[in-house]
Structure 1
């Protein structure tokens, strides 16, 4: 997983090719895998653990909190940071009186285009940092899910599921950095840091697995919620809002669900 993110991120930064279709197909397939992992695999296991302590479906409630935590961080906290940045840029342009350029005559349209392109360029510099944090949160929770597993079959199933998705994360991160005005050396450093987060999450999960069964059950519920969140809000919504190839993407989505369902069944 480390090398997938690192190498694909570097390739994306240096490459002039942008294969969006391949990434979309992978995300569609992975969305089915993630949804099945969260609902069919991790959540029932955590519920079986926690039901011994509380006569209430507490595992499902904790999973909702895990889902809500990522929802808050990505869609509320980071969105406010991004919106505030945009607002500050616009206020600065307005303060300098440059907004008047947009309504000037045709002779000054070239200056207007330069101003707009400069503004977009600044915004592209913020995007990869926010994306790095978002992918980092996902990577840590995903790694913890592997780390707390006790069966070899569970570890292999989760590992293969995540490996089918990690290269796409590295590619997306590399593309975001490539479109920014950040120095290449700093781009590579951020890619390497993002790649390290999955192994760090696995290590944290291994530490947690040495604790009480109650803690393991709670962590499993949180990771189940995070898997459901990644599948539903990050992958499914993003990919199926695109107009092209929806039928093929849906087939890949179903194949992901079927594959993980078979793994759980034979397990």
Structure 2
């Protein structure tokens, strides 16, 4: 038990340090600031942003959504089996089997998506001026009014970006807690190290993308550093919780509640990815095929990591 505990403590510090380093790199180095970039430097940052968008897309589909669907399905099956054994009814088998076949996981993820959609719609309803897009922003992204037809659609308004950045951080925080919890609940050293390496491999890229996103939307340095620090603490927090409840399996609906929360977090993450990150990165006149290649490369890397995650 002592070697396993030592490995888990080492994983805790590795998750904390790597997340901090990867998240603070775009914030602390002026090279990543798009407002000071011109020419080739700006194009490189644009392609780097597209790669991070692909990473977000891969993390949303290959990790968060996949894990949420698997967790919700397994927990619902456990719940149905427990009800069958308790009631021992002879006429409820058909109803139970049809309930299991219903796409509950997809429904919960969609509820997370629509929750953020409703939240932003409520903000825009209460603040109608937030829907506008300034000409300064169009010029910043190289989009003259006459070239608007060649873009991929209007960019999200500046007032929505902080809200979406907050939602992005919250959804990733939920997911990070559950990742750390999974590492903390492993029973062997080999399984702990394998899962921790898989988490580290995609966590570093995702947090780097978060830092880059905070820089692009103009978040102040203090708030950006505080956001990365809070995000970095989530996986170690989950791992510590896993150590505390090492022997405790999902009892009394606790596992189902965790799976539902992870599903809602996946839905919110997908909303921000498709309506904030991808539109901003794909907007702009330079290199559509190069941008597609960067997005595809980021997604492919996350799909490759999913073989071990």
Instruction: State the TM-score, normalizing by the size of structure 1.
Output: 0.65
**2:121 match:** 76
Q: Counterparts of 1:58 and 1:246 in 2: how far apart (Å)? A: 37
Q: Counterparts of 2:178 and 2:292 in 1: how far apart (Å)? A: 31
SS of the residue corresponding to residue 206 of structure 2 reads: helix
Q: Counterparts of 2:47 and 2:105 in 1: how far apart (Å)? A: 32
Greater displacement, 77-86 / 255-264: 77-86
**1:142 match:** 172
Structure 2 CA distance for partners of 1:208 and 1:244, relative to 1, 3 Å: farther
Higher helix share: 1
2:205 to 161, 166, 177: 161
Q: CA deviation at 1:40?
A: 2.2
Q: CA deviation at 1:53?
A: 3.9
Structure 2 CA distance for partners of 1:146 and 1:34, relative to 1, 3 Å: same
Structure 2 CA distance for partners of 1:24 and 1:239, relative to 1, 3 Å: same
Q: Counterparts of 1:53 and 1:86 in 2: how far apart (Å)? A: 41
Q: Does 1:64 align with 2:122?
A: no
After superposition, the C-alpha distances for 1:160-180 in whole angstroms (9 at most, x for unaligned) are 23133023123224xx36xxx
SS of the residue corresponding to residue 242 of structure 1 reads: coil
Give every structure 1 segment of 4 or more consecutive aligned residues whose post-TM-superposition deviation is greater than 4 Å.
1-12, 84-87, 200-211
Aligned residues of 1:29 and 1:252 also touching (Cα < 8 A): yes
SS of the residue corresponding to residue 261 of structure 2 reads: helix
Q: Counterparts of 2:299 and 2:226 in 1: how far apart (Å)? A: 31
Name the Cα RMSD after superposition. Answer: 3.5
Structure 2 CA distance for partners of 1:170 and 1:163, relative to 1, 3 Å: same
Structure 2 CA distance for partners of 1:79 and 1:258, relative to 1, 3 Å: same
Q: What residue ranges of structure 1 are gaps of 5+ in the alignment?
A: 88-125, 178-186
Q: CA deviation at 1:79?
A: 3.1
Structure 2 CA distance for partners of 1:226 and 1:201, relative to 1, 3 Å: farther
Give matches, 1:16-31, under 5 Å. 17-18=36-37, 20-31=42-53
Aligned residues of 2:211 and 2:228 also touching (Cα < 8 A): no
Greater displacement, 47-56 / 58-67: 47-56
Q: Counterparts of 2:225 and 2:113 in 1: how far apart (Å)? A: 27
Q: Counterparts of 1:140 and 1:168 in 2: how far apart (Å)? A: 17
Aligned residues of 1:5 and 1:191 also touching (Cα < 8 A): no
Aligned residues of 1:70 and 1:229 also touching (Cα < 8 A): yes
Q: Counterparts of 2:207 and 2:229 in 1: how far apart (Å)? A: 14
Q: CA deviation at 1:142?
A: 0.8
Give matches, 1:112-127, under 5 Å. 127=158
Greater displacement, 50-59 / 209-218: 209-218
Query: Aligned residues, how many?
Result: 216
After superposition, the C-alpha distances for 1:17-57 in whole angstroms (9 at most, x for unaligned) are 13543442223112222222222222232222222343132
